[in-house]
């Protein structure tokens, strides 16, 4: 990896792309320090100590939510819109037709996704600010004057700032994708995760067994990274053959074409870290809503709020058991949705391809579904293990004040970091290979 980076810096064009990517990431980190108007910094710090939802959104915002900056939502509304579109395409026939139109169809889907991002950004921005204003989780109000009844002008200003910051983050990410190296949206999230590493180190060093815990957590992180790389790169290659076809050439000559062999790769973990986001959001929602009703004047409502706020908090065993189950379930669900969108059996049949020993059509579809189910089981259990890894580590290493969710990098964060690094290095190596063989091609 280091050899590839050194080789890239020797080439002026690749060096420019790498420096451009680094510059955009630095600019994003600077913008993430600019807070929206009316933020109470002390209340914001207290809010993060008691909110799991805020910690999840802070990671997806690239670390900008910790300051409630104009980039507080990051690219999360766009990610949500993208996931919604992926789920709607197999359901709505019109979207299916658009998605099959090649480059024009992809551009149309991206345009619809961008339009969908606007209302989602407004909804998320208002909900995010409203939760912080409510003084939930036992803290003071982060935005004391937020609300149309309190200060309408400030409320509109905050919403415009948040939505504009989200689209600015998306634009910066697209700039990296087009003119830099790697996927810009993923790199922005990656930068926020890595940026929070120093804060986690300080927390560990401040504990009673500081240096020892740093060494232990570093070894755990390295071992987890190796495991993630091993599983992420794992795939089942299904052999595919293409029948020979007769083509008429000039002079009425016949020529046999085709007949080559290939394979269809099915990845062990094709869902990435999407199931972790689904499961986290679903589990955090009841505890977040429950915390709003803790101490309510209505007795039964306060009891329900206490139950959800305590039973589904990160510190409870029930939370982690449900987290594991939901991650496994969402892995199967999301993998099946994405696989059905590819429509692989029909594509193979249209191109004259077949799996040896399997008849085209329905038998091929049944065979691929069986293989997908078996290999997805391994990927789902792996994701479930990575999801509950902080809890397992917390059961073994009992350190007062750290809790169950303290790691150098969170589970979802590690999946993002490893995936982004692998994808970026593959793109970098592809660029180097193109330039290495440039003289040969000419």
- DSSP letter string over 214-259? HHHHHHHHHHHHHHHHHHHT-EEEEEEEE-EEEEE-TTS-EEEEE-
CATH of domain 1-195: 1.10.3370.10
Q: Which two three-digit tokens encode residue 294?
A: 């803790």
- Asked if 1-195 and 197-409 have one fold, the answer is yes
Inter-residue contact 154 to 146 (CB < 8 Å): yes
From CA 311, how far away is CA 308, in angstroms rounded?
5
Query: CB atoms < 10 A from the CB of 357, how many?
Result: 8
- Using only the alpha carbons of the chain, give its radius of gyration: 25
pLDDT the model gives residue 104: 82
DSSP string computed for 330-343: HHHHHHHHHHHHHT
Give which of 8, 2, 108 is closest to 430, Cα–Cα.
8
- Asked if 429 contacts 422 with a C-beta cutoff of 8 angstroms, the reply is no
Between CA 128 and CA 38 the distance in angstroms is 15
- Burial category of 114 from C-beta neighbours within 10 Å (exposed 0-12, middle 13-18, buried 19 and up): middle
E strand map for 243-319: 244-248, 254-258, 261-267
Q: What is the pLDDT of residue 136?
A: 53
Q: Which candidate, 190, 75, 175, places its Cα nearest to that of 421?
A: 190
Q: At what angle do helices 299-311 and 274-292 cross, to 10 degrees?
A: 150
- pLDDT at residue 102 in the model: 73
DSSP secondary structure, 372-440, as one string: HHHHHHHHHHHHHHHHHHHHHHHHHS--TTT-TT--SS-HHHHHHHHHHHHHHHHHHHHHHHHHHTHHH
Nearest 5°: the CA angle 128, 45, 195 is 85
Please list the ranges in the chain whose pLDDT falls under 50: 137, 254, 256, 404-405, 437-442
**What pLDDT, on the 0 to 100 scale, is given for residue 44?**
73
pLDDT value at residue 83: 79
Alpha-carbon gap, residue 117 to 440, rounded angstroms: 45
Q: Nearest CA to 269 among 355, 388, 372?
A: 372
Percentages helix, strand, coil for the chain, rounded to the nearest 5?
70, 5, 25
3-state secondary structure of 46: helix
Q: What is the pLDDT of residue 438?
A: 46
Q: Which are the contacts of 208, defined by CB distance < 8 A and separation ≥ 6?
A: 399, 400
Any idea where the domains of the chain sit in the sequence?
1-195, 197-409
pLDDT at 439: 41
CA 166/CA 406 separation, integer angstroms = 28
What is 197-409's CATH superfamily?
SecY subunit domain (1.10.3370.10)
């Amino acid at each position: 990896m280091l050899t590839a980076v050194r080789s890239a810096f020797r080439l002026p064009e690749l060096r420019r792309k790498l420096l451009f990517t680094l510059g955009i990431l630095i600019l994003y980190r600077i913008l993430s320090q600019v807070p929206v108007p009316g933020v109470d910094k002390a209340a914001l710090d207290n809010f993060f100590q008691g909110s799991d939802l805020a910690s999840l959104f802070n990671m997806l915002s690239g670390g900008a939510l910790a300051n409630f900056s104009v980039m507080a939502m990051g690219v999360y509304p766009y990610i949500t819109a993208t996931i919604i579109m992926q789920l709607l395409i197999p359901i709505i026939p019109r979207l299916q037709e658009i998605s099959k139109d090649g480059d024009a169809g992809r551009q149309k889907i991206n345009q619809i996704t961008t339009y969908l991002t606007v209302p989602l950004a407004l909804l998320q921005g208002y909900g995010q600010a409203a939760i912080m204003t409510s003084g939930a989780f036992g803290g003071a109000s982060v935005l004391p004057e937020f609300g149309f009844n309190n200060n309408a002008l400030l409320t509109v200003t905050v919403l415009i700032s948040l939505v504009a910051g989200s689209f600015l983050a998306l634009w910066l990410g697209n700039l990296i994708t087009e003119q830099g190296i790697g996927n810009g949206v993923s790199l922005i999230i990656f930068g926020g995760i890595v940026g929070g590493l120093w804060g986690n180190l300080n927390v560990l060093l401040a504990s009673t067994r500081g240096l020892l815990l740093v060494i232990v957590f570093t070894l755990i992180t390295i071992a987890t990274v190796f495991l993630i790389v091993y599983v992420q790169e794992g795939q089942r290659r299904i052999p595919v053959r293409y029948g020979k076809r007769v083509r008429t050439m000039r002079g009425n000559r016949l020529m046999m074409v085709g007949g080559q062999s290939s394979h269809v790769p099915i990845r062990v973990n094709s869902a990435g870290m999407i199931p972790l986001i689904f499961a986290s959001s679903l589990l955090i929602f009841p505890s977040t809503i429950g915390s709003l009703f803790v101490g309510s004047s209505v007795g039964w409502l306060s009891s329900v709020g206490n139950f959800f706020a305590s039973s589904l908090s990160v510190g409870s065993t029930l939370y982690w058991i449900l987290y594991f189950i939901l991650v496994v379930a969402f892995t199967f669900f999301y993998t099946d949705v994405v696989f059905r969108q590819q429509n692989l059996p029909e594509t193979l049949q249209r191109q004259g391809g077949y799996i040896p020993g399997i008849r085209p059509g329905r038998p091929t579809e049944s065979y691929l579904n069986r293989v997908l189910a078996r290999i997805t089981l391994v990927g789902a259990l792996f994701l479930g293990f990575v999801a509950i890894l902080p809890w397992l580590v917390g059961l073994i290493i009992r350190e007062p004040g750290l809790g169950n969710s303290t790691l150098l990098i969170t589970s979802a964060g590690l999946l993002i970091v490893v995936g982004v690094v692998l994808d970026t290095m593959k793109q970098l190596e592809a660029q180097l290979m193109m330039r290495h063989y440039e003289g040969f091609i000419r």
